[in-house]
Amino acid sequence: MGDSHLIPLAFMMSGESGTLREIRGIRHHGPIDPVVTRAKRTIRRPSRRHLLTQDKGPRMEHRLKSMGFLPGTRIKMIKNDPGTPLIVGIGDCRVCIGRGIAMRVMVEKD
Amino acid sequence: MQDKNCHPRPSEGNDKSMIVAALTGNPNSGKTTVFNNLTGARQHVGNWPGVTVEKKEGVSKYDSKEFTVVDLPGTYSVTAYSIEEMIVRNFISQERPDVVVDVVDASNLERNLYLFSQLIELGRPVILALNMMDEATKKGIAIDTQLLSTLLGSPVVPMVAVKNRGTEELKMAIIESVERGEQFREIKVNYGKEIEEEIEKIEEALKQNIEYSPILKQHNTRWLAIKALEGDEHVLRELRKHFGEESGILKKIESSVRHIESIYKQDIESVIVDYRYGFISGVVREAVKRERKEYESRSDKIDNILTNRILGLPFFALFMWLMFFSTFYLGKFPARWIEILIGYVADGISNLITSPHWIRSLLVDGIVGGVGSVIVFVPQIFIMFLFISIIEDSGYMARAAFIMDRLMHWLGLHGKSFIPMIMGFGCNVPAVMATRTLESERDRKLTILINPLVSCTARLPVYALFTAAFFAANQGTVTFSIYMLGIILAVLMAKLFRRFLFPGESEPFVMELPPYRFPTLKSTFIHMWERGSMFLRKAGTVILAGSMIMWILAYMPPGAGYGSSKSLAGRIGHFLQPVVKPLGFDWQAVVALIFGFVAKELVVSAYGTLFGVGEDKTAIIARIQGNFTPLSAYAFMAFTLLYTPCLATVAVIRKETGSWKWAVFAVVYQLILAWLVAFLIYQIGLLFTRGG
């Protein structure tokens, strides 16, 4: 990948800061044509299994975005202690974020 | 549509229905404080139709004009992804409030305006209540409210809600905006040429057909078009329902989506979100000046200690200890006063009404005995809720979730699931509702299913009575052990359910850590009162009715002897007693437990009524000592803790999980669990006492 300067948010140490570059959602993985998945998801009623596997990506991504996790945002690691979730600062807000999802938030470190 | 929202109190003089203002905002923006400031004590708590989300309404007054304020749930956006967000958008587009008030945190304007950018698309006038201006100033943020108002096309009211500043101005803005609409200029988020073109095309197609659909008609067509492009499940479902699966309009939407995504090389939802933020950052750049100073805020300093890897847990344990200590020990004093007072009432009634005997018995044994024995616990229940309110309002609740995350992970859940557990110590009903903040359905169901094992305040009277009767010397330790038993079993059941019912990992999570705030006296007391008064109401309704039914069962048939084994209650109890005999329970315990299903306090009321000794605690204790041994009493307390959630909790489980399946499952599994645990306690205990 050419994005070698990006690191997952979860790898930032306490006190470090950087700029959020992208959120790697479930849907953006692999070579699947996003338009096809999109059309399927919206127009036909998705099956239960489909919902379970596909839906949490956009839902999570949307939630992150509505809480201010946007590409270009300045982000600061407030607390990254082993075994606990992370506390990150976006502006003056403090958000507690699970390590799993913090692996999908890609940051360019200062 | 005329009588919607018709409030019992019509505005003076004219028949025109009252102005309705809907209050929205991000979580932690101080919305509830604004609501309390606007309405004071004049509020009414209910539920939104069909869902158990709390609906609060109140009446406010400005310049002798009254208006209704509806408190909508706090949300970050209005997608179709959660119940709260659906409520907000449905209320605004279907009930069409005269004005929407968006409460925003001025110190975090950018993020808070995201909701605003979506609200204006719903087609109702929006007032921006710029709350926490003092904190913004402290952080070096200067907001040009005049300019902001011009840029957003809406009135902007600066406020400091915790100090009740800006409330009158907000009231004025609400009244004026309705009486003279001219303060609003239509502002649109511009989504760029390509998307705007597609929006227009879809809008055109919608406008031609929309009159025939009662649901679609209520919405603004631009909003519908944007939502359809975004792939909003709810809007698409309505469109499919109305136009048919293969209709031209759905094909049009599909091709628009494809067109836009091919241009932006990104999914459309993200593109739209980016445009909204583009609009917001444009506004903020113009109207907000900030001197950037890197500083460690007070909240961060507190967090350094309270969420510290080593110190966090001991501090949390200390707070919990303080909560239980205050509830049990401090609560005893007012409880004693109430007890004395009820004693006077009972004596008074006995002296006043001497005949006929049955009326006296109904009043003294049935009502005073049943309701009185529960009312005594009101102070303790209020103290527990007071603490839970403080934990919630101060911002510590989110930290507790953070601290407990590691432990919850071991259960296959994450820290956020811990919040409902703490609330469960108050009452399981709001606790089950609080699971709604969990993103994953499976995590949510699991959290709901184990929640009733957390001992709520309604079970407190039972422990208090039984520990007083059998373990007077170490009441505290025994009660504590019962609470721990509940927690341990919740942990075990969580492990079990995760393994067999909801296999897999828990989902990742995000949760805002609101800045610490010193909870205001007013809002803390309002919260405590809202929840605690539920028990008072329950005492006046369910407990009263239950006690009266209990009295009838104990009194009938005439001549059988009150509460004897020949009475109706006696017959029912005897019939079912074989089931609980291995647990060491007698027939009266059976009757008490049957009533306890309705509400767990009724276990105590039932004893009060059944023994026909009124609320006189010492008399009840004496009778109970005859019915139980310390061992069977302990088994009985464990059984009360674990067996079926109360009726209200069962109902809320049914609503929140959306099916009877889980409600019935909760009842059945807990009955089995209770029986097994009580059986083990009693039988193993017997071995020891006999052997010894």
Per-residue tokens: B149: 């108002």
- Interchain contact, A94 vs B439, CB within 8 Å: no
Q: What is the DSSP letter of B78?
A: -
- Token pair 């075994």 in the structure block, residue: A83
What is the pLDDT, as a whole number, of residue B47? 54
| Chain B contact set for A61 (CB, 8 A) | 270
Enumerate the residues of chain B whose CB falls inside 8 A of the CB of residue A93.
108, 111, 512
List, for residues B127-142, the tens digit of each pLDDT value.
999 999 988 888 888 8
Residue A81 is part of a domain; what is its CATH number? 2.30.30.90
Task: Give yes or no for residue B680 having a pLDDT over 80.
Answer: yes
Q: How confident is the model at residue B49 (pLDDT cuts 50, 70, 90)?
A: low
Q: Which residues pair with B21 in a beta bridge?
A: B69, B99
Whether residue B203 is predicted with pLDDT greater than 80 in this model: the reply is yes
Question: How many pairs of residues across A and B have Cβ atoms under 8 Å apart?
Answer: 139
Query: Tokens for B442?
Result: 């499976």
Q: Which helix (H) or strand (E) holds B512?
A: strand B510-513
Contact B303 A79 (CB under 8 A): yes
* Number of H-type helices and E-type strands within chain B: 33, 10
pLDDT band at B632 (very low <50, low <70, confident <90, very high): very high
Whole-number pLDDT of residue B16: 52
Q: Angle, to 10 degrees, between the axis of helix A56-66 and the axis of helix B268-287?
A: 0
Residues ≥6 apart with Cβ < 8 Å to B554: B365, B562, B563, B567, B568, B569, B609, B610, B612
Of the two residues B445 and B563, the one the predictor is more confident about is B445
- pLDDT value of residue A38: 39
For the residues of B267-306, what is the DSSP string, one character each?
Answer: -HHHHHHHHHHHHHHHHHHHHEEE-------HHHHHHHHH
Range B567-577 burial, b when 16+ CB lie within 10 A, else e: bebbbebeebb
Stronger pLDDT, B271 or B49, i.e. the higher one: B271
As a whole number, mean pLDDT of residues B630-650 equals 91
Q: How many other CB atoms are found less than 10 A from the CB of residue B55?
A: 18
Pull the structure tokens for residue A74. Answer: 């300045």
B484 burial level (CB within 10 Å; 0-12, 13-18, 19+)? exposed
Q: Does the pLDDT at position B574 exceed 50? A: yes
Q: Which residues of A touch B402 (CB under 8 A)?
A: 84-85, 87, 96
Would A89 be classed as within a structural domain? yes
Residues in chain A: 110
Gap between the Cα atoms of B608 and A110, Å rounded: 70
Element (H, E) at B680: helix B660-691
B537: amino acid identity, one letter? R
How far is residue B378's CA from residue B461's CA, in Å, rounded to a whole number? Answer: 10
Among chain B residues, CA nearest to A86: B402
Domain over B19-183 is classified CATH 3.40.50.300: yes
Question: Is A84 contained in some domain?
Answer: yes
Nearest beta carbon to residue B267 from set A38, A45, A100: A38
Taking residue B311's Cβ as centre, other Cβ atoms within 10 Å add up to: 13
A102 to chain B nearest CA, in Å?
9
CA atoms of B489 and B642, how far apart (whole Å): 9
The CB density around residue B262, as the number of other CB atoms within 10 Å, is 10
Q: Is the pLDDT of residue A1 over 50?
A: no
pLDDT tens, residue by residue, B495-507? 899 888 887 766 6
Contacts of B81 in chain A (CB under 8 A): 59, 62-63
Listed residue (B156, B74, B174, B166) closest to B109, CA to CA: B156
Both structure tokens of B86: 């659906």
For residue range A22-55, list pLDDT tens digits in order: 887 644 333 333 333 333 344 344 333 333 333 4
Q: Which domain holds residue A31?
A: 6-109
Q: What mean pLDDT comes out for the span B331-346?
A: 84
Q: Which chain B residue has the Cα nearest residue A14? A: B304
- For B164-172, what is the mean pLDDT? 91
Q: What is the pLDDT of residue B182?
A: 59
Greater pLDDT, B263 or B638: B638
Put simply, the answer to whether A92 touches B107 (Cβ < 8 Å) is yes
The strand ranges marked E within chain A are 6-8, 17-23, 74-79, 86-90, 93-97, 105-109
Q: B170 with B102: CB under 8 angstroms?
A: no
Contact B273 A90 (CB under 8 A): no
The first and second tokens of residue B215, run together, are 């649901």
Kindly state whether residue A16 falls inside one of the protein's structural domains.
Answer: yes
Domain-located, residue A1:
no
CB contact under 8 A, A38 and B114: no
Please say if the pLDDT value at position B628 is more than 60.
Answer: yes
CB B584 within 8 A of CB B682: yes
Phi, psi of B283, rounded to the nearest 5 degrees: -65, -45
Model confidence at B373: pLDDT above 70: yes
Give A-chain residues touching B401 at CB under 8 angstroms: 96
Q: Which two tokens stand for residue B494?
A: 């969580």
Q: Which residues of B212-231 are buried (b: 16+ CB within 10 A; e: fewer)?
A: ebeebebbbbbbbbbbbbbb
Asked if B411 and B385 count as a contact pair (C-beta separation under 8 A), the reply is no
Token digits for B568?
């109706």
pLDDT for position B363 = 81
For chain A, positions 69-108, list CB contacts with chain B under 8 A: 70-71, 78-79, 81, 83-85, 87, 90-102
Number of domains in chain A: 1
Q: Are A76 and A17 a contacting pair, CB within 8 Å?
A: yes
Q: Residue range B656-669: average pLDDT?
A: 90
Q: What is the mean pLDDT of residues B385-400?
A: 87
Taking CA–CA distances from B114, the nearest residue in chain A reads: A66
Q: How far is A29 from chain B (nearest CA, A)?
A: 13
Calculate helix-pair angle for B248-264, A34-43, nearest 10 degrees: 150
Average pLDDT, chain B: 83
Assigned token pair, B277: 């933020």
For B570, the 3-state DSSP assignment is helix
Per mean pLDDT, which range of B404-418, B625-639, B661-675 is the poorest? B404-418
For residue B102, give the nearest of B87, B85, B115, B90 by alpha carbon: B115
Q: Kindly give, in sequence order, each residue whose CB lies less than 8 Å from that of residue B341, ignoring residues fewer than 6 positions away.
A: none
CA angle B297, B387, B456 (to 5 degrees): 135
Which pLDDT tens digit goes with each residue over B188-200? Answer: 888 888 889 889 9
In this structure, which amino acid lies at residue B507? E
Q: What is the mean pLDDT of residues B302-314?
A: 88
What is d(CA A11, CA B669) in angstroms, rounded to the nearest whole number? 43
pLDDT confidence of B167, banded at 50, 70, 90? very high
CATH 1.10.287.1770 in chain B, residue ranges: 192-290
Using CA atoms, how far residue A7 sits from A73, A87, B211, B493, in Å, is: 15, 17, 52, 38
CA distance B689 to B692: 5
> What order do you get walking across the sheet with B54-62 strand by strand?
B43-47, B54-62, B65-71, B19-25, B99-105, B126-131, B156-158
Q: According to the model, what pLDDT value does residue B2 have?
A: 38
Instruction: State the sign of the Cα–Cα–Cα–Cα dihedral B560, B561, B567, B571.
Output: negative
| Nearest-angstrom CA–CA distance, B139 and B290 | 8
Architecture of domain B192-290: Orthogonal Bundle (1.10)
pTM, rounded to two decimals: 0.71
pLDDT digits (tens, 9 = 90+) for A60-92: 777 788 788 888 888 999 988 877 889 999 877
User: Which of B510, B511, B516 would you mutate first to test chain A, the one with the most A CBs within 10 A?
Assistant: B510
Residues of B in contact with A83 (CB under 8 A): 309, 406
Residue B522 has pLDDT above 50, yes or no: yes
At B358 the three-state DSSP class reads helix
What are the residue ranges of CATH 3.40.50.300 in chain B? 19-183
How would you write B447-508 as a 3-class SS string? HHHHHHHCCCHHHHHHHHHHHHHHCHHHHHHHHHHHHHHHHHHHHHHHHHHHHHCCCCCCCC
Taking 80 as the threshold, does the pLDDT of residue B185 lie above it? no
Asked if pLDDT for residue B292 goes beyond 70, the answer is no
